[in-house]
């Protein structure tokens, strides 16, 4: 049988959402011998832990203890505890956890507000790569580029999936859109996306219009610096 040396992980500073560095007192407690759950010593430890939890959560509930769970379990507990029937929940969808919040909110009596860039249906838009695959697989000569804005088709895949899932669920929808006004190049782009307009037309840009900027950054750190400076000057 092959043998290995004892575990000795190098010290690391963990600063992500998890795992995180363990407090020394916790490491010391975890290194002690186990006792049975019915041992009187364990009962005393549980009472001490519940007393500490009562201070943390500012409660007089005698039976106060934590239940282990995933991050989703924690998010669900917070939502279910904080949201009351009839409350309105605004969930910006910018990534996986935004979708997760919306999925959990579906099981509560709340209204879900989905931020969509267009009033039209855009769940079936295809980007150029997908269009090329369609033509290769099905020998289809249809012009897919006419069915919506190419920028939305390229950047909105995650939103498309969630949009389709929402449409598949029985619901009562209320449209609360405000059409963008084309005052500058950015608002013109928003208007084109809103209208799913793929017209290849030249747009006149004013000399003082800096609503859309392009920066060439040599590193991710420089990108963060440029973004920081841009937010300061808004």
For residue 230, what pLDDT band results from cuts at 50, 70 and 90?
Answer: confident
Give whole-number Cα distances, 219 to 214, 224, 226, in Å: 15, 9, 11
What is the structure's pLDDT at 79? 80
pLDDT at 47: 92
- Give the residue extent of every domain in the chain: 16-66
Helices and strands counted in the chain (H then E): 9, 2
Q: Comparing 15-19, 126-130, 203-207, which segment has the lowest mean pLDDT? A: 126-130
Greater pLDDT, 189 or 149: 189
Residue 62: CB partners within 8 Å, gap ≥ 6?
50
State yes or no: pLDDT of 41 exceeds 90: yes
CA distances from 89 to 44, 78, 108, 113, 167 (A): 42, 13, 10, 7, 18
- Burial of residue 13 (CB within 10 Å: 0-12, 13-18, 19+) is exposed
pLDDT on residue 145? 47
Report the Cα 124 to chain-centroid distance in Å: 22
Give the per-residue pLDDT at 110: 62
Give the global pTM.
Answer: 0.46
Rounded Cα–Cα distance for residues 221 and 40 (Å)? 55
Give the pLDDT of residue 155. Answer: 63
């Amino acid at each position: 049988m092959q043998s290995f040396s004892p575990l000795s992980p190098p010290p690391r500073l963990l600063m992500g959402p998890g795992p995180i560095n363990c407090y020394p007192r916790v490491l010391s407690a975890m290194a002690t011998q186990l006792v049975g759950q019915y041992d009187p010593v364990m009962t005393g430890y549980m009472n001490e832990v519940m007393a500490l939890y009562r201070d943390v959560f500012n409660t007089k509930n005698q039976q106060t203890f934590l239940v282990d769970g995933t991050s989703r379990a924690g998010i669900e507990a917070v939502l279910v505890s904080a949201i009351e029937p009839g409350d309105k929940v605004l969930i910006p969808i910018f990534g996986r956890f935004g979708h997760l919040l919306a999925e959990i909110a579906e099981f509560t009596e709340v209204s879900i507000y989905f931020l969509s860039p267009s009033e039209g249906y855009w769940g079936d838009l295809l980007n150029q790569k997908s269009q090329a695959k369609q033509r290769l697989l099905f020998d289809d000569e249809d012009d897919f580029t006419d069915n919506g804005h190419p920028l939305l088709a390229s950047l909105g895949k995650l939103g498309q999936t969630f949009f389709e899932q929402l449409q598949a669920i029985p619901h009562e929808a209320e449209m609360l859109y405000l059409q963008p006004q084309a005052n500058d190049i950015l608002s013109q782009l928003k208007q084109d996306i809103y209208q799913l307009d793929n017209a290849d037309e030249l747009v006149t840009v004013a000399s003082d219009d800096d609503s859309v900027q392009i920066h060439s950054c040599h590193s991710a750190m420089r990108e963060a610096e440029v973004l920081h400076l841009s937010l300061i000057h808004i």
